[in-house]
Amino acid sequence: MRFLLVEDNIELAKAICSRMQLDGHVVDHAERLEHAVAFSETGEYDLILLDIMLPDGDGRSFLKAHRAGEIDTPVIVLTARSEVSDRISVLDLGADDYITKPFDHAELQARCRAVLRRKAGTAKTITRYGDVAFDPVAGNLTIGDRVINLRNRELRLLELLISAPGQIFPKTKLIDRLFSYEEDVSENAVEVYIARLRKHLENSSVSITTHRGLGYRLDHD
């Protein structure tokens, strides 16, 4: 999944990005509100991690504008303020959750998973399609009695395709979801991961079909 991290503490931001990337997520980092606005206007995100105290303003103004625009991307607020009134204020503005600094990275990861499950409207993690069972938390794909452990980008690619089977995803969309803005990649990179997933899906009822000039789609027999 793709996250936007809005945090001006560089060391903390690096630590968060590293942990989230180990989980296979793509993370764009904004140090200032103006950068956060630019990212949110040009990119599509599954989750936003938002600091409150930023060099060029209060993160709550970003949150307020975010919700006023009827954008439903989940937001977890990162705050050094522990007063109940501060926590209530960000929740009233539309935050989905908050975590108080300093925090344990494992707790932040758990809160991210919980918020994303709520957004999906379900507490289950396993998605079944055809004769395939996909578990993004465990990072594996099960076909019959065969369990396949997926690498990070294979995992995120399948997660995207299986979220909307039958829908065609253009290469540009897949690049946007699999790679951060800092990474210089070509459309050939997507073809590499598509080929790997196709190999994993061999001997199953599920396949990835190519629609020339349009993109890729997940189908089953």
Q: Domain limits of the chain? A: 2-120, 127-220
Structure confidence by residue, pLDDT tens digits, 12-56: 999 999 989 887 788 999 999 999 999 998 888 999 999 999 999
Q: Which stretches does DSSP call E strand in the chain? A: 2-6, 26-30, 47-51, 53-54, 57-58, 75-79, 97-100, 127-129, 132-135, 140-143, 146-149, 206-211, 215-220
3-state helix, strand, coil in the chain (%, to 5): 40, 25, 35
pLDDT at residue 89 in the model: 86
Largest CA distance in the chain: 56
Is residue 164 exposed (0-12), middle (13-18) or buried (19+ Cβ within 10 Å)? exposed
The proportion of the chain whose per-residue pLDDT surpasses 90, expressed as a percent, equals 48
Among candidates 35, 55, 51, which has minimal Cα distance to 43? 35
Tell the CATH superfamily of the 2-120 domain: Response regulator (3.40.50.2300)
Is 134 in contact with 127 (CB distance < 8 Å)? Answer: yes
- What pTM was computed for the model? 0.69
Which of 7-11, 127-131, 177-181, 205-209 is the least confident region? 177-181
* Rg of the chain over all Cα atoms, to the nearest angstrom: 18
CA torsion, ordered 78, 31, 20, 22, to nearest 10 deg: -150
Is 100 in contact with 82 (CB distance < 8 Å)? Answer: yes
Confidence of residue 82 (pLDDT cuts 50, 70, 90): low
Helix, coil or strand: residue 91: helix
Residue-averaged pLDDT of the chain: 88
Q: Which helix (H) or strand (E) holds 17?
A: helix 10-22
Cis status of the peptide bond prior to 74, with omega within 30 of 0: no
What b-and-e string marks burial along 179-191, b requiring 16 or more CB atoms within 10 Å of the CB?
bbeeeeeeeebbe
Residues in the chain: 221
Structure confidence by residue, pLDDT tens digits, 150-204: 888 888 899 889 988 999 999 988 888 788 777 777 778 899 999 999 999 999 9
The proportion of the chain whose per-residue pLDDT surpasses 70, expressed as a percent, equals 97
pLDDT at residue 5 in the model: 97
Task: Out of 1.10.3720.10, 1.10.10.10, 3.40.50.10240, 1.20.1270.360, select the CATH number for domain 127-220.
Answer: 1.10.10.10
